[in-house]
């Protein structure tokens, strides 16, 4: 791939993302003209903004996790972060706890506690001397299975109303968050992007292995801890507000590697932008694919992401 | 001030003592060749010098500070390490990979790549810059690893089998490069199995040879030591003889009973 063509591909990719982000508010059922302005500015625009923020966070965190765990299948979903956040959020939704405690939304706090809890377990395993990356993934799978079992148990014992809201939430959705969602997710997205982008040089060195990176001046343990904590925070907030949205963190970095290139300084910002556009695109699709009713966006990301991943793996 | 100072250093691995009582000093302009059988801890000794493995006894100082008291970035400013395993199987391009060796300078990747131009030239990899690391041959990887080592711009260089996978022509190139760095005042510590390549380096009196056996240092001498073949024979438990071609001396393992005796 020549330099010129790779630059042209990157520019085309960014332009495509912008078209998706700017065009998405206009996608959906036509409404009565007098309500059109309200629907656009009060429903669709904040929904697209929330989608862009969540997709951006999931994309860039997925890319950073793949690098620090040196495995293209390591994402917040596969190392247990999403499962921990989901378990925490489900507990807050199903158990009889107040919605707001000390001014903080309990679902978000519980999701964050769950995400950090699983990350601490994975972190403890990872920091034990000569742990292989495969071990971390296996611990992630064990945590995910354990958290899922507890989540299922919780739902089994819940009353019908709580069960319905939990089931709806657990499919992943972007609707009805409005500008409140933007105000919460915006700062988290900025924090995630700022911290992860500031670590690009360290992540580039880490590609060649822990010891070589350390010998070149990278504080590998600090770098891993920073990425895991910031990633857990970002994922927890996304899960608490929108439910577990699958495949974005896994699939987006793979698309970016093919379109933009695999260097970390391209991969991370590329995954931020592409993740935003990918989730907004999936959400627009969710609005139009079944006429008269909306699908949860998590269903669309999974339906697009799973086969795309299989194709990508076969092409490798 | 010495670049590196090891005093009574010991390393434990899996409950057993791998190395003990190792004392070595490396000053600017020193070249140390570390020889020894497989598995005696040569690579571990280099990791210890690089601060990647902590000593279980004694101390390792880079300059005046113990390695444990320095941050990774501070250590990277003092010592560069060429590992035996070339792990660059990634989709990174050669110039991106070499640029990561300049992490300690805190430059952007593009500036780091510009500053690597000299290292690319010295290791003869300028033509490989845009190639992906995963597509390189063993010899090309080796030269790229050497380029990264030079790009780090340190006074002390630790080399683990630097001529591995190289054909004779590039072996010569790499050893001549090492000799040049040595003459320019760098401190160089080189783990190798092929003692003859050291002969390319010239000035045999100043080339220090460290024999590492099970548990620690068996001998320290110079390459010009006439009894080096006997010392190496004892170290490797196989007869090593010296053959001469003009002024050059080549040490080779004697195979079979018909092996020639060293001419006196």
* pLDDT over 60 at B118, yes or no: yes
At A232 the pLDDT is 86
Mutate to test the interface with B, among A211, A217, A224 (most CBs of B within 10 A): A217
Selecting from B71, B90, B109 the residue whose C-beta is nearest the C-beta of A219 gives B71
Q: Which residues contact A304 (CB under 8 A, 6 or more apart)?
A: A247, A251, A282, A285
Task: Check whether A222 has a pLDDT greater than 60.
Answer: yes
- The answer to whether A209 faces chain B, any CB pair under 8 Å, is yes
B109 vs A201, A212, A220: nearest CB = A201
Q: How confident is the model at residue B236 (pLDDT cuts 50, 70, 90)?
A: very high
What pLDDT is attached to residue B260? 53
Residues of A within 8 A of B75 (CB-CB) are 215, 217
pLDDT at B188 over 50: yes
* pLDDT tens readout for residues A175-215: 777 898 899 899 999 999 999 999 999 999 998 888 999 99
Closest Cβ–Cβ partner in A202, A209, A263 for B103? A202
What's residue B257's pLDDT?
55
Strands (E), chain B: 4-13, 16-26, 31-35, 57-62, 65-66, 79-82, 156-160, 187-191, 207-213, 216-222, 240-245, 248-253
Q: Do B47 and A213 touch (CB under 8 A)?
A: no
Averaged confidence pLDDT in chain A = 86
Residue percentage of chain B with pLDDT more than 70: 94
Predicted confidence (pLDDT) at residue B98 exceeds the cutoff of 50: yes
| Per-residue tokens: A44 | 């669709």
Residue A1 pLDDT > 50, yes or no?
no
Mark which residues 97-116 of B lie under 8 Å from A by CB.
97, 99-104, 106, 108-109
Q: Is B96 on the interface with A (CB under 8 A)?
A: yes
Which of B50, B71, B88 faces A215 most closely, judged by CB atoms? B50
Q: What pLDDT does residue A121 have?
A: 85
Give B189-202 pLDDT, tens digit per residue: 999 887 777 766 76
Most B CBs within 10 A among A208, A258, A266, hence the mutation to make, goes to A208
| Mean pLDDT, all residues of chain B | 89
Q: What does the pLDDT read at residue A131?
A: 65
Q: For a pLDDT cut of 70, what percent of chain A falls above it?
A: 95
Nearest to B215 by CA among B62, B60, B39: B39
Q: For A102-106, A257-261, B17-21, which range has the lowest pLDDT when averaged over its residues?
A: A102-106
Strand pairing partners for B10? B57
Read off the pLDDT band of B264 (50, 70, 90).
Answer: very low
Contact B52 A214 (CB under 8 A): yes
What is the dotted CATH code of the domain comprising B4-87+153-225? 3.40.50.300
pLDDT of res. B69: 95
Spell out the domains of chain A, with CATH numbers in brackets. 3-315 (1.10.3470.10)
Return the number of CB contacts < 8 Å for A and B: 74
**CB contacts, 8 Å: B106 with chain A:** 201
Q: What is the pLDDT of residues B135-151, one digit of tens each?
A: 998 888 888 999 999 99
Q: Does A212 touch chain B (CB under 8 A)?
A: yes
The reported pLDDT for the residue numbered B153 is 96
Show the DSSP H helices in B82-137 as ranges.
94-99, 109-115, 117-122
B88 CB neighbours in chain A (<8 A) are 208
Q: Locate the chain A residue with the closest alpha carbon to B51.
A: A215
Residue A265 predicted with pLDDT over 70: yes
The per-residue pLDDT for A130 is 61
Q: What is the pLDDT of residue A128?
A: 65
Min distance B217 CA to chain A CA atoms (Å): 25
Domain boundaries in chain B? Answer: 4-87+153-225, 229-264
pLDDT at B80 over 80: yes
Mean pLDDT of A3-28: 85
Rounded mean pLDDT of A119-147? 79
What is the ipTM, given to two decimal places?
Answer: 0.91
Please name which of B246, B245, B210 lies closest in space to residue B225, comparing C-alpha atoms: B210
A221 touches chain B (CB under 8 A): no
């Amino acid at each position: 791939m020549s330099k010129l063509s790779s630059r042209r591909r990157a520019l085309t990719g960014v332009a495509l993302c912008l078209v998706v982000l700017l065009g998405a508010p206009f996608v959906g059922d036509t409404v009565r003209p007098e309500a059109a302005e309200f629907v656009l500015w009060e429903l669709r625009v904040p929904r697209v903004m929330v989608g862009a923020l969540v997709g951006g966070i999931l994309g860039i965190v997925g890319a950073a996790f793949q690098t620090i765990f040196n495995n293209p299948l390591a994402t917040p979903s596969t190392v247990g972060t999403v499962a921990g956040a989901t378990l925490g959020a489900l507990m807050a939704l199903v158990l009889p706890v107040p919605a707001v405690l000390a001014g903080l939304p309990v679902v978000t706090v519980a999701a964050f506690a769950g995400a950090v809890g699983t990350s601490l377990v994975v972190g403890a395993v990872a920091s034990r001397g000569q742990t292989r990356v495969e071990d971390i993934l296996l611990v992630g799978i064990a945590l995910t299975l354990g958290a899922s079992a507890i989540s299922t148990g919780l739902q089994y014992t819940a009353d019908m109303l709580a069960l319905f809201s939990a089931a709806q939430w657990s499919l992943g959705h972007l609707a009805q968050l409005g500008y409140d969602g933007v105000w919460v997710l915006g700062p988290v997205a900025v924090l995630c992007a700022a911290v992860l982008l500031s670590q690009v040089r360290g992540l580039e060195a880490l590609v060649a292995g822990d010891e070589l990176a350390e010998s070149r001046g990278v504080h590998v343990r600090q770098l891993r801890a920073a990425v895991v904590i910031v990633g857990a925070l970002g994922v927890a907030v996304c899960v608490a507000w929108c439910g577990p949205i699958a495949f974005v963190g896994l699939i987006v970095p793979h698309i970016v590697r093919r379109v933009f290139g695999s260097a970390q300084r391209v991969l991370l910002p590329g995954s931020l932008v592409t993740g935003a556009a990918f989730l907004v695109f999936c959400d627009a699709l969710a609005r139009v694919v079944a006429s008269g009713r909306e699908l949860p966006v998590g269903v669309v990301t999974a339906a697009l992401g799973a086969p795309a991943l299989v194709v990508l793996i076969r092409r490798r | 001030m010495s670049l590196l100072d090891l005093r009574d250093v010991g390393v434990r691995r899996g409950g057993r003592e791998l190395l003990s009582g190792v004392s070595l000093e490396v000053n600017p302009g020193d070249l140390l060749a570390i020889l020894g059988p497989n598995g005696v801890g040569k690579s571990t000794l280099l990791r210890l010098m690089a601060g990647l493995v902590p000593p279980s006894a004694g101390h390792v100082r880079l300059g005046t500070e113990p390695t444990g008291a320095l941050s990774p970035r501070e250590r990277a400013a003092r010592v560069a390490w060429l590992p035996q395993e070339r792990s660059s199987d990634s989709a990174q391009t050669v110039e991106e990979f070499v640029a990561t060796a300049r992490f300690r300078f805190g430059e952007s990747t593009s500036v780091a790549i510009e500053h690597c131009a000299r290292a690319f030239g010295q290791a003869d990899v300028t033509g490989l810059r845009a190639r992906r690391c995963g597509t390189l041959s063993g010899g090309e990887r080796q030269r790229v690893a050497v380029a990264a080592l030079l790009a780090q711009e340190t006074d002390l260089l630790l080399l683990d089998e630097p001529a591995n996978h190289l054909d004779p022509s590039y072996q010569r190139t790499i050893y001549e490069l090492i000799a040049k760095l040595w003459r320019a005042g760098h401190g160089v510590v080189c783990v190798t199995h092929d003692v003859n390549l050291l002969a390319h380096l010239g000035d045999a009196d100043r080339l220090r040879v460290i024999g590492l056996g099970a548990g620690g240092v068996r001998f320290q001498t110079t390459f010009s030591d006439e009894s080096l073949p006997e010392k190496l024979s004892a170290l490797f438990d196989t007869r090593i003889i010296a053959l001469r071609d003009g002024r050059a001396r080549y040490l080779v393992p004697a195979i079979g009973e018909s092996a020639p005796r060293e001419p006196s």
